[in-house]
Each structure stands twice: as structure tokens, then as C-alpha cells.
């Protein structure tokens, strides 16, 4: 299997495919995994809030204090676990269900983490689907009568969320029109993968996922961030050494041990390295 290290903005993951796979099928798979990873992250963020503060308020009541809501005619009683942002009602599920929701969120976030790409682990689309199913099951367990239609968790699960004001709206791609770039070239959907990577299945390539019409992506930096930090640290060290040498006087070397005219004699008599200060050799 060919390993493809996919990146888009700060998102990274690895997929595998045989060289006979068509670019169209491969692009659709990559785009599906990318979109589902983003959806999983959005869902876990909202489910964590659901576990802490319960369902969302209607849109017209979000962000308003209890005093403001009472002034509008809504009878609101003070809740012990009220949402400080005023987005959710403040009535969280019981502790057992809270623990289930948090655990499922932790597992889902770990499954779609970018750390898997750094460790060169493949992310199958089935694993992302399983994460979404587990989150759906946990929410259904906590709220068997369903959440209100205006709740973000329900909107994400039913795939009817509005992303025009969300950062993911710019990152999400259309599976039918998305494009994959490799080595500065846009992969032709009508061709097999072997046209670009050859017939060797034991290779790893870096590709970039882009929306249709977005143009060529920026090139990868010549060195990674860790190498660049080490190079800069070495450069600053050399600069400090050069500055110290420039400020040193011309006869500063006379204070060095190798410049001592009696050094050879003292070494022959075993007297080198001796200090006459009390308590020191």
C-alpha cells in the first residue's frame, strides 16, 4: 500500500491505497476523511459543553442574563450550574452520563488527532465513522427524548449546521470537486495513482488537499520547525561567541593556561593545576 500523508492548513492525517486506485476514488476518500475529522472535532467541542451545561437555549435567548430574560417576559429561575456565557440552560445530565459523554469525547479526539500523522499511523474512514457513531450513541443515552432542534449538537449530528461563520467553513471541501496536489502538480482524477508514484507500493508521499479553483498550495518549508529552531539556536550561540571575541583585548590570550611560559616546567614537576587558595586544589 502507498501511504499518503495528507495536509490541509493545520490538519494532517495519513491514508493508504494501492497504486491501482483511481485518483477520483482516492480524492473522494481523502475529502471524506478530512470533512469527517472536522465534524468530529466540532461535535466533541459541543458535546463537552452539553455535558457541563445541558442543552442550548433558543437563539434569541443566548447570551442574555437571567434579569434580561425575566425582563423579556421569560420566567427564569437561577440554576446552580449556569453557563457563564449564557448559551446553554445550565441543567447538565447526571454525573454518570457526564462521565460517559466526556469519555467518548476523549476517545474521539484521540482517534482523529494530528499526532497519528506524526507517528505515521493510518487513519481509516471507518474509524472516523465509528467515532461519530459513538458520540451519537452517548448523546442519545443522555437525552433519549432528543435535544431541541436549535441545539448545535443535534444540528451537527443531523448534518444541517451552518458553517458560513465558522472557520471550518473555509477548511471543508466538496468531495466531488476537491483536488489533490503532489510534487507541485494537480492530480488528474481520470488517472490511476500509479501514474504519479509508479508501481512501487512501498512508498510514502506527501500530498495536499485543496478546494477546486483554489490554485496551487504553498510549498513545504525546506526544513521542519524543530530543525529550524536548532539552527537558529546554533546561530545565536555563534553570534555571542563572535561578539565576545570582538570585545576581548589583543592580549587577553595571555591569561590562558597554554600561554604560561612556565607551564612546561610546572607540568614536569607536577605543579600544574595547583591553586594555593584555602580549600581548593
d(CA 47, CA 82): 16
pLDDT given at position 19: 92
Below-70 pLDDT ranges, the chain: 62-81, 83, 220-222, 248-255, 258, 272-281
Residues 142/93, Cβ–Cβ less than 8 Å:
yes
Count Cα atoms within 13 angstroms, Cβ side, for 269.
7
Residues 13/34, Cβ–Cβ less than 8 Å:
yes
pLDDT given at position 260: 77
d(CA 14, CA 37): 12
pLDDT given at position 247: 73
pTM above 0.85, yes or no: no
pLDDT given at position 215: 78
Give residue-wise pLDDT tens across range 84-120.
777 888 888 999 999 999 999 999 999 999 999 989 9
pLDDT given at position 189: 92
pLDDT given at position 9: 86
Torsion-angle region of residue 9: left (phi > 0), alpha (psi -120 to 50) or beta? left
pLDDT given at position 210: 92
Q: What one-character DSSP code corresponds to residue 135?
A: H
Q: What one-character DSSP code corresponds to residue 219?
A: P
d(CA 163, CA 223): 34
Extract the runs of DSSP E, i.e. beta strands, from 75-231.
179-182, 185-186, 204-210
pLDDT given at position 64: 66
Q: What is the CB neighbour count within 10 angstroms for residue 166?
A: 13
Closest by CA to 29, choosing from 249, 180, 219, 194, is 180
d(CA 193, CA 208): 15
Amino acid at each position: 500500500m502507498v501511504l499518503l500523508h495528507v495536509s490541509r492548513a493545520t490538519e494532517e492525517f495519513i491514508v493508504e491505497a494501492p497504486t491501482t486506485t483511481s485518483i477520483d476514488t482516492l480524492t473522494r476518500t481523502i475529502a471524506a476523511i478530512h470533512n469527517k475529522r472536522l465534524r468530529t472535532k466540532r461535535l466533541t467541542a459541543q458535546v463537552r459543553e452539553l455535558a457541563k451545561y445541558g442543552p442550548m437555549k433558543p437563539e434569541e435567548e443566548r447570551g442574555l442574563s437571567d434579569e434580561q430574560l425575566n425582563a423579556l417576559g421569560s420566567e427564569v429561575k437561577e440554576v446552580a450550574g449556569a453557563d457563564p456565557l449564557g448559551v446553554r440552560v445550565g441543567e447538565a445530565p447526571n454525573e454518570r452520563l457526564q462521565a460517559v459523554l466526556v469519555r467518548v469525547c476523549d476517545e474521539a479526539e484521540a482517534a482523529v488527532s494530528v499526532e497519528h500523522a506524526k507517528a505515521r499511523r493510518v487513519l481509516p474512514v471507518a474509524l472516523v465513522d465509528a467515532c461519530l457513531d459513538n458520540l451519537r450513541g452517548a448523546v442519545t443515552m443522555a437525552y433519549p427524548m432528543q435535544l431541541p432542534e436549535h441545539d448545535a449538537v443535534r444540528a451537527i449530528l443531523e448534518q444541517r449546521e451552518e458553517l458560513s461563520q465558522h472557520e471550518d467553513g473555509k477548511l471543508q471541501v466538496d468531495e466531488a470537486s476537491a483536488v489533490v496536489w503532489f510534487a507541485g502538480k494537480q492530480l488528474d482524477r481520470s488517472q490511476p495513482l500509479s501514474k504519479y508514484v509508479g508501481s512501487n507500493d512501498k512508498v510514502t508521499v506527501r500530498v495536499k488537499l485543496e478546494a477546486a479553483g483554489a490554485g496551487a498550495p504553498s510549498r513545504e518549508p525546506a526544513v521542519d520547525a524543530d530543525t529550524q529552531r536548532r539552527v537558529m539556536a546554533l546561530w545565536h550561540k555563534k553570534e555571542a561567541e563572535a561578539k565576545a571575541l570582538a570585545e576581548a583585548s589583543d592580549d587577553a590570550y595571555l591569561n590562558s593556561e597554554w600561554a604560561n611560559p612556565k607551564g612546561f616546567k610546572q607540568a614536569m614537576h607536577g605543579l600544574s593545576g595547583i591553586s594555593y587558595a584555602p580549600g581548593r586544589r
